[in-house]
Amino acid sequence: MRFEGRVAVVTGAAHGLGLDAARGFAREGARVLMVDRDPAGHEAAAALRAEGHDVRFRAADVTRAADVAAYVEAALEAWGAIHCFFNNAGIEGEVKPLVEQEEAVFDAVLAVNVKGVFLGLRHVLPVMRAQGQGAVVNTASTAGLVGSAGLSPYVASKQAVLGLTKSVAGEVAREGVRVNAICPGPTETRMIHSLEEQAARRGANDPAERYRAAIPMGRYCLPSEITAAVLFLCSEAASGITGAHLQVDGGRTACPMGSAMR
């Protein structure tokens, strides 16, 4: 029970990586505030409470400062602290060449993926600094490390997340607060299947197979594998790690050609 007596806040927690991480924190003993703009998070939190965990849900739009301040206050009112923060909410945008990308979509991707991360840090870090302890994990992506044709707004947003992570880590390191990022590769969630469908509509031949072929392990990662990395970075086992990013991508960025040469 690595997180017994600890409080974790998870954004984007109604589905996908956020939901799996919220479960992971709860089952490791944490009290968890799940945050999402999708009210489906209420049912997910209720299911965890039925297992005997201390979990609550707060509806919020991570792009709105007032909503972010409100979810931070909700955690403090409930439990008096925030020890772990999985700053995870994100959207993929559209698969199109840059010259076809709509300004509104670009703005939406940057608002959620960058401004949402910024606002989360802006409101959670003062709590952690006052406590003299805390661990933040921001969700970046392998797209934060390499380009991806057709996903320029998403790529730009995730590279910005890594810049925020490194800069902020240096600002709070001597105050007992660690800030790291995870870089998931393609993972078995709604997002990767949305990208497959968009690519197929644009004429790509079997995009799922092409995506998997570029991964040396030959498969998408599982949400539980991303959760394992998040819990590690938030745990005392990672007490000397800050300003870093951890790739969980089946070797995709280490060997971009994947299995194509075998």
Residue 100: DSSP 8-state: G
Question: How far apart are alpha carbons 150 and 224 in whole angstroms?
Answer: 28
Which residues in 183-205 are b (16+ Cβ under 10 Å) and which e? bbbbbbbebbeebbebbeeeeee
Largest CA distance in the chain: 56
Question: How far apart are alpha carbons 156 and 110 in whole angstroms?
Answer: 8
Q: In the annotation, is 154 catalytic?
A: yes
- Provide the pairing of β-strand 84-87 with 55-59: unpaired
Beta-carbon contacts of 106 under 8 Å, excluding residues fewer than 6 positions away, are 93, 153
Active-site residue, from 71, 154, 211, 220: 154
Which of the residues are catalytic? 154
